Structure 1
Amino acid sequence: MRCFSFDVRGKHLSEARHWSAPEVFGPRAHFSTSPPPAALLVRDVKRRDEGVYRCRIDFRNTQTTSFRYNLTVVVPPEKPVVVDRWGRIINTTTLGPHEEGDDVLLTCRVLGGRPEPSVRWLVNGVLVDEEYEHNTGDVIENRLLWPAVRRADYAAVFTCQAANSHLVPPKELSLVLDMFLRPLTVEIRRPAQVGEGGELTAERRYEVACESAGSRPPALLTWHKGKRQLKRITEELRDNLTVSVMSFVPTLDDDGKPLVCRAQNPNVSALFLETSWLISVVYPPVVRLRLGSSLAAGDIKEGDDVYFECHVRANPPARKLSWLHDVSHPSSLIPQTNYMPNIKFI
């Protein structure tokens, strides 16, 4: 069947008559003589245009010449679609968020294409899986299992690529891996006003800072003293660093207690890291004097022997203990200078 003709008989080349069969190329075809070589140009090639074409050239004074051309039409596949492990289509450019240790299972589906396309997975531009299989109809699938994602996988680019010819770029879909990350560091910054041995002074206000880095999203910092959570805090973000400043007034009961700073991923409670500071609080002696524990105050009569117990609590420990009787008299000091914890005086 004739599909196109270019006739210059009795005419100048620029006045040649073009004819294109409506049922074949119609207005999509045009014969071009400049620049050489002359060629038949077909726009918007259709799949039905595929086949063997014969070009016949009739000369005025010489023998007719003909050539055969095999036209193969490549039909690109449709853009890939990616579904998760539950068969849900991922309509965003983000994958996740996932936690460290999760297995990522993705299925790339490609419809159509002629010749049959190859479907493969790339991670950060590196080929990791090129095994695919046919599903129903013209659907081709490639399943990718990326086990136990790590921190290093954060922001990795997973690309499904379908290609069936070097003539056109491959069709592809890329997803960026989002992750919830646990804090990497947490550190308590002790205030500059602490003593030489790191002691705090009772009834004096201090501001203690805690810093944490590595969490995504930024860590939530909480303070605990013993089993009680402390509330008087301020928090700010500095680049990838979360800084919490806690203000508190230590008491003598805080001596020897741990001050804990806990950094926790706000979206996953199990992703946390904490550090503690065992605080030492210095305070003046606290003295309690009482009648001997084996005596009954109501049974004491003149002539009986009595004794007293002096209980002393101090940090650092008291080094001297003095007993006084009837402090209104100058001679009231009792010569007792050696200190013994909870000393008894008879």
Structure 2
Amino acid sequence: MGFVRDVPGYPRYRYAGDGAKGEHHLVIKGVTLQDDGEYQCQVGPTSNASAIWVAANLTVLVSPGSISIGGLGDGEKLEVKAGQRLTLDCVVRDARPAPSVTWYRSGLRLDSALHEEKVFRSSQGRRWSVRSSLRLMPSSEDDERQYSCRALHPALEGSPTSLVASVVLSVLPLHEEKVFRSSQGRRWSVRSSLRLMPSSEDDERQYSCRALHPALEGSPTSLVASVVLSVLHPPRLPEILGYKTGEVLLEGERRLLTCMVDSGNPRPVVEWQRHGRPTGMVHDDPGWKATLTPSGGYFYNHQEGSHILNVTQEVTATQQEDSAVYECRVYNKLLTQPLSANVTLTVHYPPEDVTLYGPLTVAPGQVFSVICITSPANPPAEINWMIQGIQTNSVPIKVTEDMEGGWVTSSELTSDYMSLVNMSEVALACRSHNPASDWVVSESRVITLTKPPGRPLLTLEETDGFDNPGLAFEEASRDEGMGKEEDEKEEEQDAVKEGPESMLVMRAVAGRALRVECSSEGGNPAPDITLYMNREKIFANLTQTGKITKAQSQIEVKSTDKDSEVVCEVANPATTTPLRARITLVVLFPPLEAHGWVTPDTVEEGSKVILVCQTSLSFPASNITWHSKGDEIGSGLVVRSQAANGGTVTRYDSHMV
């Protein structure tokens, strides 16, 4: 073609590219079949290099010009006899490169091994044609069946139209006629024998023979006899419609699973099973009438004249249906094993709830964690943590398979994720959801950072409101097991470790009512205060004002309460043992009576007598004096003896002349 970039003599050819850079691209405008062939790019030799070249082949695609089967028109009927060999020739003409052919029977593609192709030159230059031969042995099943061939060629790829030719077979049964004399003179009879090879398609098919005779031409009646074949054959493999394994159902969604069965003869029994167990649906209806089963969520339908039976099972997508296997089984007397088809359901469902595990209270500086676990879900649920109302996404999650199906998601939130400085409590929430639903489940928890309460202050006061000189403390308060702390922190630590206890001794008068009050300052959470008397719990009214927690009650002092203890216990989760304060009561009670007598009771003037005065028990011991005419008389012997409840009986013997 030369070195000139306009390519003289080839008006449709030109060179493209930058020649200075060594770019010499051949551009062909309006490609025709004449452009088909090999092209070479040649570089001449130089003083330093020999000549080089490279070749490229251009194949111009020309789509086929026509397609036909045996010269018949598209869709034309072709009459053939059953059992006789038939060859269908499909010819595709005038294409470049050579085309190929694929065959279809009733829309289903046939294996390429069933037909042969032969490529030959077209009468038009540089083009090719192909003949594909399909060999058949038609049977009654092929009657009214369509056979079609389709041209395959690169020029047709992506084309909105296709090159197809088809014929419809009309299969005539084979029969033989034999004429013989009638028993009635000068008449003839004929016997026509039709040889068949019945198939399942012939079941319930009617065959009829019609008498042909000149005397019958134009007659309003015809002479016809017919039979209906009952061909025993097993049913075909069932097919399940309405759901395909792998399809995702959302929880609550309903589906109808239809088992479609080519019925067979004798009529089959159709059964739905779930995980190998019957769902309750067993179809065995020899009448073949449309039936709706009133329960179980299934029904079947069969129309007269149809060989197809539809048996339907209704399912509702739930968590329990995930991975459920539904199987349609078909039984027939001609089958040694039932035919079956099955589907495995995939149900997506969210978790029903989440559960939190962990402490409700923690001490300052304590290392702890809270675990959130979801109920099973499919696909696995996600977990998000909220700390003080702020979402954090950095907490890792763990997914495990549940033994009963689905996936369980868990997440452990450690104290490292929380800032607890100067806080009394922290609010946590675990929120979970998955793509199966917009529903979010959550659980919240408030964790209290504990702080021990202050030491209890226990007081007893008379309720009459006046000062009683007999009511006083006998001993100063003392703290057992607790030193003098230098600051509040040491005080709290000692309180928790040693459980400080204050002890007092107090005098009280029997018969009086005492107001009991015990208070404690601080503590988180607020402490519980319990009052006891002689180890028996007494009812108290608990109040809280600011940081002060207070318990109040009232007791009545009895003479039998000598050495009784009133105890106040203060505790919250930060205390390992309760903090205690106790007061021991020293009960004062007077004698209830005094008796006096003289010994002897009758004396003469100048004789000695003994005046005796004795009290009932009292505490402390009573003092006794004798008086006569306003003056204390005599002196004597005082005898004191111990009695019940720590009391003392006092006796005073005075001698007189």
Larger radius of gyration: 2
Higher RCO (Cα < 8 Å, 6 or more apart): 1
TM-score, structure 1 as length reference: 0.50
